[in-house]
Amino acid sequence: MTAPLRFSFDVDCPPERAFEVWTTRIDAWWPRDHTVTGRAELVVLHSGVGGRIFERTADGEEHEWGQVTSWDPPSKLAYLWHLGADPATPTEVAVQFHRLGVAATRIEIEHRGWERLGDARDEWRDRNQAGWTTLLPHFEAALAKGEG
């Protein structure tokens, strides 16, 4: 079994705000160089179980990234994930938002299911390790600036 990727960090806002920015305001913070096309006009995460996660270009072209499998605002979100990969072999992402006080939240992310990718599992895991490392500061900056 390939070990899941795990990340944990604290933000200075309540879980309700962190969950909202992660989900319904994803377009405000998701960097365009972390998309399939590199020219996404819009990034969308539809709410609720079964919600689509995708990008749309200016000419209306859409690229599926995944599908929501768990929706429990403001504490938990999970989704199948295949950005840039075969939709038939998605990995899984689980994000939890833990209240630390009136205006603080610990966010814990677990990205798992690498075995589904067969011989390419280590390459995809390494690629996603780097992706998360460069992605998360954008989310934190949007929260700190009150964006989203």
Summarize pLDDT for 37-54 with one digit per residue, the tens: 999 999 999 999 999 999
The Cα angle at residue 133 between residues 126 and 143, in degrees rounded to 5: 150
- pLDDT beyond 70 at 87: yes
* Nearest of 142, 124, 128 to residue 22 by alpha carbon: 142
Listed in sequence order, the residues at least 6 apart from 145 whose beta carbon sits closer than 8 Å to its beta carbon are: none
The pTM (predicted TM-score) of the whole model is 0.94
- pLDDT category at 76 given cuts 50, 70, 90 is very high
CATH number at residue 48: 3.30.530.20
Cβ of 58: how many Cβ atoms within 10 Å? 10
Could you tell me the residue range of the domain that residue 47 belongs to?
Answer: 5-145
If DSSP codes are grouped into helix, strand and coil, which group holds residue 148?
coil
